[in-house]
Chain A
Amino acid sequence: MLSVLLTGTVIAQVGKPFIHDPSTIMECDGKYYTFGTGGGGLISQDGWTWNSGAVRPGGGAAPDAIKIGDRYLVVYGSTGGGLNGGHSGKILTMWNKTLDPKSPDFKFTDAIVVTASDGIEDCDAIDPGLLLDPTDGRLWMSYGTYFGFIRLVELDPKTGKRVEGNKAINIAIDCEATDLMYRDGWYYLLGTHGTCCDGANSTYNIVVGRSKKVTGPYLDNMGREMIEGGGKMVVAAGGRVTGPGHFGRFIIGDGIEKMSCHYEADLDQSGRSVLAIRPLLWKNGWPVAGDNFKEGTYKIESERRGYALELVVDFTRMAGGMRGFNRNNDEPIKPVASQELADVIKTWPTENIGVRIGDYLFRPHQKWTITAVPEAGGYIGGPYYKIVIAGTDRALAATAEAEVVTVPAFTGAPEQLWRIDQLTDATYRIMPKVVPNSNENLVLVSSGDSTPTLAKFDMNSDNSKWNFKAY
């Protein structure tokens, strides 16, 4: 896990990721899409660089999207939420075979109203969130704002229409931008709490409650119902970004999940509202936002035994040794200098050097500096990184034999680029962008306590997991 001693920086998505109320991220034909308030949305080729270009008709606010079969269902609020000063609104659904506006198949069906609010009742028909229940295939939609209740209705996953005779259920108050998800027998209701739309002063934050039934009641970690205002924090402001809101879940694979949201204000980007993608962690059955990887110098620790990734070089002893017993304890105490790179680098080979995992003594051959390589692009949630021995350009690389080695200098070759994903248990997966002569997706693993290699990722094995510690 990351310690608090980090000096690196974290950046939001790159490109022009300016959006408010982003829908759950959809992948379509190798590209990524999210829609926002006001129509349109963002497209990304790799999940890291986002720019405008997605197309969503209907205008209105706060859409969501879900893939059902081979079609995408997009839902949005046409008014409501105090827009134009009122709380009268409608929520509509529409289908498309593709989200790529350049595709000949790109055509939205006519939008269908699935619920509405009359402007007076205790509910705003706005801010929909969709869940296709993986246990039975039923399609649910939550919606609403601070103006009264968050409500749950059932839609027909074949038509996108409201299930005939379905009655709305009140499931929460004090929320906007709700969303639903399911995991391990629990239904989770995510809601955005706090104040919206006030830039750096927005107190938006995302909270969660859970229930064994999709219809609720949704309780927080204190047993308080969300219909009493309960909610456990998933993500709040931090760093230089304020107001996370409008949760969406994106599952990459077993143990690798991301959450999307917007920040009301990114103080490094003119205080604009931006798309954010962060790791989604699970702690004691509760979702919580992880931290995007921060550049810095780290011990790379194997979760298997706790040993650290290091160069295969001669161990250079530090001066001294055990001080001995029965010495005068009144002698002045003074610090002992750490071993520095200059103390040892001349003993290292200059060509490729192998890598192993060993006892950590914070020595130069065990400290790795990890920095983003902006020109290398990225993946959903992060840029590619280079991993070099601190103070050098000696870079970790994948080999054609599916092993790992260090090369004397980083060249930008794809086997020297690494993807770093925080896993749902807060450890990390470290994955080369490519393994030469291989189409397999392999990751850095411990094949023995002391031996690293590349192999398929297994969330159920600590061999596949690593930690970054800044000491």
Chain B
Amino acid sequence: MVGLGSQGYSATQVDTNTAAKSDTTRSIAPYFTPGTTKKMTPDAKGFIQRWLLLEPINKPNRGNTVFTDSYLRTNFSTEYFQNQFTVLPKNGEKVKVGEQELTWHALESSIYNVKLYRFAYGLRKQVYGVIFWAVTVVNSPQEMKNVRLAVGSNSSSMWWLNGKEALLLSGDRRMVVDDCVSTRLTLNKGKNIIRGAVINGPGMSDFCVRFLDERGQPIKNITISYE
């Protein structure tokens, strides 16, 4: 991650500022690079940077104060597109959500968090009043018990591991590392699928996800893929 562990960093010398300067070109670069099939592990702090992201679903909300637990459970359990809770989409695949035709993008975040606002803005999609869907595949070399999924998101979000709900982050939230942590979970040997949905009214949207072991340390001996 940019700046982590550094003694401060110049906004004009590092990735984030390069990003700021290039905003006017309306690109998802340098926040994201296209997904590849190269072996990829989490970053030095265990954050998962490879994701399939669906272009934002239109969900108008003028403010974020409506994001109560009940509201979120209703709206995150709504099926917006076919096979929403089971599909492992491919890059470029399209889905229909009402009148919207939305595309999945296989991407790698260049920083520890996934800046959904920049994803939408760079693709000239709506940035406010939105729901984002994210999917990734975690490959574990062995079964790992008692791990925890740790998430920060802006704003609210819900996360599933292998089809089971793992976390709900409710309320008008900012993205904070390890803001909410799941109960003890098991990573299966081989493939595991994380799904996430992030909802936001106005403001920037982003999330950061990592697994923590029993001692609260980030899990890094896993690989991340799209399939």
B203: which A residues are within 8 A, CB to CB?
146-147
Q: Are B4 and A147 in contact (CB under 8 A)?
A: no
Instruction: Check B3 for interface membership: any CB of A closer than 8 A.
Output: yes
Q: Are B174 and A217 in contact (CB under 8 A)?
A: no
Q: Are A198 and B65 in contact (CB under 8 A)?
A: yes
- B5, B11, B112, B176: the one contacting A170 at CB < 8 Å is B11
Residue of B nearest to A122 (CB): B20
Total count of chain A residues near the partner, CB < 8 A: 36
Chain B 1-29 interface mask (CB, 8 Å, partner A; 1/0): 10111111111111011011101100000
Q: Are A229 and B177 in contact (CB under 8 A)?
A: yes
Within 8 A of A (CB), among B143-195: 152, 154, 171-172, 174-179
- B9, B10, B16, B112: the one contacting A122 at CB < 8 Å is B16
Total count of chain B residues near the partner, CB < 8 A: 37
In the assembled complex, the Cα of A169 lies from the Cα of B19 at a distance in Å of: 14
In the assembled complex, the Cα of A175 lies from the Cα of B203 at a distance in Å of: 13
Instruction: Check B204 for interface membership: any CB of A closer than 8 A.
Output: yes
Within 8 A of B (CB), among A86-123: 118, 120-123
Q: Are B64 and A213 in contact (CB under 8 A)?
A: no
Q: Are A217 and B7 in contact (CB under 8 A)?
A: yes
Instruction: Check A168 for interface membership: any CB of B closer than 8 A.
Output: yes
- Quote the shortest CB–CB distance from B132 to chain A (angstroms): 18
Q: Are B7 and A213 in contact (CB under 8 A)?
A: yes
Q: Are B8 and A173 in contact (CB under 8 A)?
A: no
In the assembled complex, the Cα of A173 lies from the Cα of B154 at a distance in Å of: 12
Q: Are B174 and A215 in contact (CB under 8 A)?
A: no
Q: Are A170 and B17 in contact (CB under 8 A)?
A: yes
Q: Are B176 and A174 in contact (CB under 8 A)?
A: yes
Instruction: Check A432 for interface membership: any CB of B closer than 8 A.
Output: no
Residue of B nearest to A193 (CB): B174
Pairs A–B under 8 Å by Cβ, sample size 28: A82-B202, A118-B23, A120-B24, A121-B23, A122-B23, A123-B11, A123-B20, A148-B20, A167-B10, A167-B11, A167-B13, A168-B12, A168-B17, A169-B10, A170-B8, A173-B174, A203-B171, A211-B8, A213-B8, A215-B7, A217-B3, A224-B177, A224-B178, A227-B3, A228-B4, A229-B152, A229-B174, A229-B176
- Using CB atoms and an 8 Å cutoff, list the residues of chain B in contact with chain A: 1, 3-14, 16-17, 19-21, 23-24, 64-65, 112, 152, 154, 171-172, 174-179, 202-204, 208
In the complex, besides A167-B11, A195-B172, A229-B179, 10 extra interface pairs with C-beta distance below 8 angstroms are A120-B20, A123-B11, A152-B8, A167-B12, A169-B9, A170-B3, A170-B16, A217-B7, A229-B175, A230-B176
